[in-house]
Amino acid sequence: MTQRVFVGGTRVDALPPDNRGLSYGDGVFETMRVHRGAVHWRDAHWVRLEEGAKRLQLRLPGRACVDAHIDELLQAHPDDVLKLVVTRGAGGRGYAPRHDADPVWTLSTHPPPPPPRPGGVMVRWCDTRLAMQPLLAGIKHCNRLEQVMARGEWSQDGIDEGLMRDTGGQAVCATAANLFVRHDGRWTTPPVDQCGVAGICRGWALSALGARIATLDVAQVETADAVFLCNAVRGILPVARLGARGWLPHPALAEAIGKLADAHPAFADRLENP
């Protein structure tokens, strides 16, 4: 892992310890797929970051500055995963946000994701539920204890992801991916206006696959003709098994993966070894 730390527009050696990210998770982040030096969905990631910053009334560094540092970093890491975390900066005691503090932000590169499990991912239901908080729903903020607890529920290699329900019992997403299910020839994904994240790949799939947004209960997931998870780093991940329920490869899933590969070359490698 390579990591760089910045305060405002200046690169610094170390993270200031009075950082509100550390104290309160007072920040937003993006995790991006890089392929041959290019960041996939670069504009969409920035738009979501801006939406989160607006919701939290948090000041972002200038995009030109962030972009320049990203481009410099990617010269040595042209096919990694890139993570950007922006926090409100100084002010480690007292909840009152300081409006004059420079944002503290980090850029880090991480190894590309492992190839997807052949035939599809193995999924379970998590016991950890997502609280319903419209003020924080949809954005990619740094208050992620629910996801940490959900992901901590299993350690077996045989399970790749966990599906999460909200406290009302409706299916929402996986711990680190959005959820799409197919019924009657159409893809559906749950709303993210009470909890969950408006994923970048979810946004692409809504448009490219003509999917609809609607609540989904457990039975509607388990009786679907096909299910996939998706995120901006791994693209589309067909689900092969959810608890006792299994799915065979579905032609609509192959079609969706093909469309994504056409749109974003990082995901085209998948077609060689589907």
Q: What residues does 7 pair with on adjacent strands?
A: 10, 104
- Is the CB of 57 or the CB of 207 nearer to a copy of itself? 57
Stretch that binds a copy of itself, among 11-19, 41-49, 69-77, 224-232 (CB under 8 A): 11-19
Helices 42-56/200-208 angle, 10° precision: 120
- Separation between Cα atoms, residue 86 and residue 60, nearest integer Å: 7
- Separation between Cα atoms, residue 86 and residue 6, nearest integer Å: 9
- Is the CB of 15 or the CB of 65 nearer to a copy of itself? 15
CA 1 vs. chain centroid, Å, equals: 19
> 65-84: string of b/e by CB count within 10 Å (b at 16+)?
ebeebbeebbeebeebbbbb
- Contact status: 15 vs a copy of itself (CB under 8 A): yes
Stretch that binds a copy of itself, among 9-17, 118-126, 239-247, 261-269 (CB under 8 A): 9-17
- Contact status: 268 vs a copy of itself (CB under 8 A): no
Residue from 24, 125, 159, 222 that binds a copy of itself (CB under 8 A)? 24
- Is the CB of 100 or the CB of 184 nearer to a copy of itself? 100
Burial class of residue 1 (count of CB atoms within 10 Å of its CB; 0-12, 13-18, 19+): exposed
- Contact status: 110 vs a copy of itself (CB under 8 A): yes
Q: Which residues contact a copy of itself (rule: CB under 8 A)?
A: 1, 3, 5, 13-27, 29, 31, 56-57, 81, 83, 85, 87-88, 92-97, 106, 108, 110, 128-129, 131-133, 135-136, 141-152, 167, 175-176
